[in-house]
A and B are shown apart, each in its own frame.
Chain A
Amino acid sequence: MELLPLNFLPVGCTARVKQINACGALRRRLMDLGLVTGTEVKAVRKSLSGDPTLYEIRGAMIALRCEESSKILVERSML
C-alpha cells in the first residue's frame, strides 16, 4: 500500500498514520493531539480556499494547514 501525505487524503476518507516527518516542537505538538503511528484520521472538510483542512483525530475536530499535514504520511484505509 502506497503512503501519501495527509493533505492529499480526499475529504470523507479515512487513513492510518504511518510516519511523521516533522521535527522538534511541531512533531511533539502533533503527537500530543494523538497523531502517533497507527492513529486513524478522517478528512472531514476543507476550508474556503482548500486550506486548512479539518480532520477527525481520536474523536476531536482538528484543523491543520497543509504545511503541517503534508508532513504526516498516511496509508488509506480500504472500506
Chain B
Amino acid sequence: MGLTGQSTGLAIMRRIAIAQVKVQSSGDIIVALAGNPNTGKSTVFNSLTGLKQHTGNWPGKTVTNACGRYGYDGKNFILVDLPGTYSLMANSPEEEVARDFICFGNPHVTVVVVDATCMERNLNLVFQIIEMTPKVVVCVNLMDEAHRKGIQVDTKRLSDILGVPVVGISALKRQGLDLLKQSVWEVACGGLSVNPIKIEYDEAIEDAVGIVEPQISRLIDNLSCSISSRWLALRLLEGDQAIVEAFKRYLGIDIFGWVELKERLQKARDMLVERGITIDQLGDRLVSSLFRNAEEISRQVVHHKKGATNSIDSKIDDLLTSRAWGIPAMLALLGLMFWITIQGANYPSHILSKAFFYLEEELAELFMASGMPQWLYGILIDGVYRTLSWVVSVMLPPMAIFFPLFTLLEDLGYLPRVAFNLDNFFKRACAHGKQALTMCMGFGCNAAGVVSCRIIDSPRERLIAIITNNYVPCNGRFPTLIALATIFMAVGTGWFQTVVATFAVMAMITLAVVVTLLTSKILSRTVLKGLPSSFVLELPPYRKPQVCKILIRSLMDRTLSVLARAVTVAAPAGLVIWVMANVNVAGNSLLNHFAGFLDPFARMLGLDGYILMAFILGLPANEIVIPIVLMSYVSAGTLMDLDSLEALHQILVQHGWTWLTALCTMLFSLNHFPCGTTLLTICKETGSWKWTLISFMVPTITGIVLCFVVAQTARLLGLV
C-alpha cells in the first residue's frame, strides 16, 4: 500500500532539514534549539525572535523546524527550533531531523532547553548533545513553575559540573532572556571556553571506543562538520544505520567504504562480545550510564522543599482523568465552550447584520444615483456584497469565540488528558492513541489537524488519522451546526433554547467521534491492516495560559483570517452564484438547472438540490455553504434583513426545510469531502494522489450513506 518513508512525512521533514542546513550565510550565527517535548522550547523561540510560532501544551506541538532571527551585540543570530525529542538516537523522524541538524547543519551553538521541574529526565538529552558537540548552552526553562512547586535548581552548580554555561529562565515571563543571549554569544564567538563533562562508560566500552576513535577522528578532520569523534565511534559501535545513511546523504561519504575503519570496528565489537557485551546490550549500557549520571547530578543540583508537592495538579487530574468523572468532565467542558459560543455569538451577529444591511441600503442608493447598470449592481451588491456580509455576520462570530476558547484549553494542557481518557477506544479501533490529539486539532482547522498527524510515527496509523480527521467539524463548520441546531432542534426560548442547542451540537460531536472510531476500525481491517503500534504519552503539568494574550491574539487572527477568506473565497462564490442565478438558458436560470439536476439525488439524502450544490460550490471553504444556500434561495433579488436567526428560519422554511432537512444538512456537513485547503494539505503530507482521493471519498460515502438511511427511515416511519 505504499507505506514507505515517502508517504510518512519523514521525506518532508528531511527536505526541510536539508533546506535549513543550507541557510548558512557568512557572519550569521546559527543557533539550534533542542529539548524534550513540552519544555517550552517554542515559547523560548518566540520570546527570543519575537515571532508568533504557535505554541500549545502538548508533546509534539512543534513538528517542523521553525526558523527565526534575533540580534545581539550587532550580530545576527539565526535560531532554528528543532522538534522536541526525548533522545537523539534517531528512533523517530523527529529525532532524526533534530540529530541531523546538530550534526550536519553546523550550528555555532546548540541551546538545550530543559524543564526545571523534571531535570533528571531532561539531563539525558543534555548529555547526548554534549557528547555530540562542545558548543552547548543549557537553558533551564520554567524556573518560575519549579519555584512554585518547591523545586530549586542550582544553575551555577550545574554549570560547574557540566562545563558549559547554564542559564535559568522563565520564558513566559521573559526572565533571564538577556543572560541567555549573552551566553549564546559568548560560546559562539569564542569568548567563553567550554570544557564539557565527559560521560565515562564501562571499561570495556571505553576500550572499544579507544580502538576505533583514532580512525574516526582522521575521517572527521577531513570534513567540514564538527561531529565529535567519540560520539560517532559510539554510534558506529552500536550499529546505528541512520548515521551511516546521513553521512551518505549530507556529505556523500560512505563510512564503511573505508576498509580500515570497518576492520577496526569489527575488532572492537569482537572484543566487546568477548567481555560479555553484545551490540544490543551496548545500547542499554550507554543509556543506563547516562541516566545514572543524570540521577547523580540532579541529586546535587535539584533541591526539593519539604512539604511542597504539586498537589493542585494532581487534584485537578483526580477529577479530569478519573475513571468515573473523566468523560463527564470532558463533555461538560465541551458543552460549556459551545454554550458560551452560541450565547456569545448572538449579539455580535445581530449587530453585524444590522450594520451590513444598513450599509447595503446606503450603497444601493449611491449606486442608483450614479446610474450604474442593473447587471453590475446585481453582481456587486446582490452577489458579492451580500455573500460577504452573510459570511461575516453569520459565520464569523461563532468562529471568533470558539477558537480562543479552544486555544485556552490547549495551552492549559488539557488535550493530552483527552487522549489519555479516550485512548482505550482508539486502541480498540486499532488506531494510535495520539489520534485523539490530532482530532482535537481538527476542531480548530482540519488542515492543521492533518499536519499535526506527524506526531504519529507509524505510517499506517498516521494515514488513518489523516483520512478520518475530516470527520471532526472544523471551526468553519461549527457555525452551520450551531445555526441549524438553534433554529430547528432547539425548542423554547432564551437560555433554555441555548442549552438545547448546545446538547444538539454535542450530540453531533459525539457522532463525529463514533464515526471516526468506526471508520478507523474499518480501515484497520481493510486497506490499512495492522495492529496498534506502541504508544507512550506524556501528560505535561497544567500551565496557566496567558489568557489575555490568547484571547486578543486568536480573536484577531480568527477575525483577520475569516475576513481574508471572505474576500478571496466568499466574494467570488457570490459572484458565481449571482451569474448562475441570472443567466437563463432554455427559460430557466443556470442555477436552477444545476440544482434541478442534483435535486433527485439530493432528495434521497433528505437534502435538496440547492443544498447539495452549496456543498459542492463550498469546496474552497466550508464557511460559505450556508451563505450559498441562502443566496440561491433569495437570488430573485428581494432585499433581506437577516438580522436574526428567526429570519433565517423563515427563509429556510419557505423553501421547504423541515427538521429532517436540517438534520441531514448537519450530518452531511459533518461527513463530506474535506475543503480544498485540507485536500491540498493531505496531498502534501501523504505525497500521494491515491490517499488524497481516498480521504475525499471515505467521508463523502459515509455522509451519503448516513443521510440516506436517516432520511429514508424518517420518511418510512412517517415522522415527516
Contacts and interface: CB of A to CB of B under 8 A. Distances in A.
Interface of A: 23, 25-34, 36-39, 44-52, 54, 57-65, 67-68
Contact of B537 (A30, A45, A52): A52
B317 A45 contact: yes
B87 A61 contact: no
Contacts of B283: 27-28, 31
Contacts of A68: 534-536
Given A39-B291, A54-B539, A67-B534, A47 B89 contact: no
Nearest to A61: B539
Nearest to A64: B536
Given A47-B323, A48-B323, A48-B424, A32 B124 contact: yes
10 contacts: A23-B280, A25-B91, A30-B536, A34-B120, A38-B288, A51-B424, A51-B427, A59-B119, A63-B539, A68-B535
Contacts of A34: 120-121, 124, 291, 294
Most chain B beta-carbon neighbours within 10 Å: one of A25, A47, A50:
A47
B87 A60 contact: no
Interface string B15-31: 00000000000000000
Given A34-B120, A48-B327, A58-B118, A63 B536 contact: yes
A39 B294 CA distance: 12
Interface string B125-138: 00000000000000
The majority secondary structure among interface residues of chain B is helix
B291 A63 contact: no
A6 B335 CA distance: 37
Contact of B118 (A31, A36, A60): A60
Interface of B: 86-87, 89, 91-92, 117-121, 124, 280, 283-284, 287-288, 291, 294, 314, 317-318, 321-323, 326-327, 420-424, 427, 433, 532, 534-541
Given A28-B91, A38-B288, 5 more contacts: A25-B91, A34-B120, A34-B124, A52-B537, A57-B121
A59 B117 contact: yes
Nearest to B125: A32
Contacts of A26: 534
Given A34-B120, A59-B120, A47 B420 contact: yes
B424 A32 contact: no
A27 B87 CA distance: 13
Contacts of A59: 117-121
Given A28-B283, A58-B120, A65-B427, A52 B91 contact: no
B87 A54 contact: no
B91 A32 contact: yes
Contacts of A62: 536-539
A23 B534 CA distance: 12
B121 A36 contact: no
Contacts of A61: 538-541
Contacts of A36: 284, 287-288, 291
B632 to A, nearest CB: 46
Contacts of B433: 52, 63, 65
A45 B325 CA distance: 13
A49 B421 CA distance: 9
A67 B326 CA distance: 22
Contacts of B294: 34
Most chain B beta-carbon neighbours within 10 Å: one of A23, A54, A57:
A54
A59 B538 CA distance: 11
A70 B536 CA distance: 13
A52 B89 contact: no
A46 B121 contact: no
Most chain B beta-carbon neighbours within 10 Å: one of A23, A44, A65, A68:
A65
Nearest to B427: A65
A47 B539 contact: no
Contacts of B537: 52, 62-63
A70 to B, nearest CB: 12
A47 B91 contact: no
Contacts of B327: 48
A26 to B, nearest CB: 5
A33 B287 CA distance: 10
A47 B321 contact: yes
B87 A63 contact: no
A33 B120 contact: no
A3 to B, nearest CB: 17
Most chain A beta-carbon neighbours within 10 Å: one of B294, B321, B534, B541:
B534
Nearest to B325: A48
Contacts of A49: 323, 424
A32 B287 contact: yes
A52 B532 CA distance: 13
Contacts of A31: 283-284, 287-288
A1 to B, nearest CB: 21
A37 B288 contact: yes
A30 B534 CA distance: 10
B288 A32 contact: no
What are the 4 tightest A-B residue pairs by CB atom distance, in nearest-first order? A32-B87, A61-B539, A32-B86, A63-B537
A38 B284 CA distance: 13
A46 to B, nearest CB: 7
Contacts of B427: 51, 65
B121 A33 contact: yes
Contacts of B420: 47, 52, 54, 63
Nearest to B285: A36
A69 to B, nearest CB: 10
Contact of A47 (B117, B423, B538): B423
A44 B315 CA distance: 12
B277 to A, nearest CB: 15
Given A36-B288, A61-B539, A63-B539, A52 B120 contact: no
B87 A28 contact: yes
